[in-house]
Chains A and B, each alone.
Chain A
Amino acid sequence: NAGVTQTPKFRVLKTGQSMTLLCAQDMNHEYMYWYRQDPGMGLRLIHYSVGEGTTAKGEVPDGYNVSRLKKQNFLLGLESAAPSQTSVYFCASSYHVTGLVSNQPQHFGDGTRLSIL
């Protein structure tokens, strides 16, 4: 039972390089999210998706793009990496439940540690 899997786990990039972070979930969740965590701070929302083929911006979307071509996968892209994007990136997923009380927590992957030199 894999849950949420993120690849790669570590990566070092040079400024200006591009890369894609992959998130895969096997729980048939509709909602998927990308967060970043910086030292001394909580996780902050970059982009999210409420279903296959849909994406939307979160609080800190600049410099990132996302795609959700398949329900189980959510890709985060850095087109031109900058040192300010050095961070730990977490992907999460959750069910969509209609009603007053959803009580459906997000499940997180183990993160991708990205360093940009």
Chain B
Amino acid sequence: DQQVKQNSPSLSVQEGRISILNCDYTNSMFDYFLWYKKYPAEGPTFLISISSIKDKNEDGRFTVFLNKSAKHLSLHIVPSQPGDSAVYFCAASVDTGRRALTFGSGTRLQVQP
């Protein structure tokens, strides 16, 4: 049973527009959520995170929103750039103990020039 789901395998957006990537989770024990970006033949690179005590976190062009009641989070990229084209993974963890990440299956974002 997938505890973290990314239901959109791919997303295509025009340069300069907003990209919105979505993620749903089922485990109510998760209290730390992250987004990773992955290019081919490279490891995932940390992008942005949010604790369950917050509902929004911003870092430059990237904003993550958390809706705990809906068990949903989203990543907004504004404005989107061609260099943002990559696979984006949503991940979640329980912030005690092993702190291992549970990943979604990823969304491939393509930003068209």
Q: Once bound together, how far apart are the Cα atoms of A56 and B9, in whole Å?
A: 32
B78 beta carbon closer than 8 Å to chain A = no
Closest to B52 in A: A101
B29 beta carbon closer than 8 Å to chain A = no
Report the number of A-B residue pairs with Cβ-Cβ less than 8 Å.
Answer: 67
Task: From A58, A90, A103, give the contact of B51 (CB < 8 A).
Answer: A103
Residues 21-46 of chain A, each 1 if its beta carbon lies under 8 Å from chain B, else 0: 00000000001010100001111110
Cβ A43 vs Cβ B44 within 8 A: yes
Cβ B98 vs Cβ A50 within 8 A: yes
A43 with B103: in contact, given A101-B51, A105-B34 (CB under 8 Å)? yes
A40 with B32: in contact, given A58-B100, A105-B49 (CB under 8 Å)? no
Closest to B90 in A: A42
B4 beta carbon closer than 8 Å to chain A = yes
Task: From A40, A43, A109, A110, give the contact of B101 (CB < 8 A).
Answer: A43
Cβ A31 vs Cβ B99 within 8 A: yes
Closest to B103 in A: A42
Cβ A44 vs Cβ B103 within 8 A: yes
Closest to B98 in A: A48
Would you give the shortest CB distance from B9 to chain A, in whole angstroms?
Answer: 8
Q: Once bound together, how far apart are the Cα atoms of A88 and B32, in whole Å?
A: 25
Q: Which residues of B contact A50 (CB under 8 A)?
A: 98
Cβ B44 vs Cβ A108 within 8 A: yes
Q: Which residues of B contact A31 (CB under 8 A)?
A: 98-99
A90 with B44: in contact, given A42-B104, A100-B53, A102-B99 (CB under 8 Å)? yes
For chain B residues 27-77, which have a beta carbon within 8 Å of chain A? 32, 34, 36, 41-46, 49, 51, 53
Mark B residues whose CB is within 8 Å of A: 4, 9, 32, 34, 36, 41-46, 49, 51, 53, 89, 91, 95, 98-106
A-B contact pairs, 8 of them (CB 8 A): A40-B105, A42-B89, A90-B44, A100-B51, A101-B53, A102-B32, A103-B51, A107-B46
The 6 closest A-B pairs by CB, nearest first: A42-B103, A108-B43, A105-B46, A43-B103, A110-B43, A101-B51
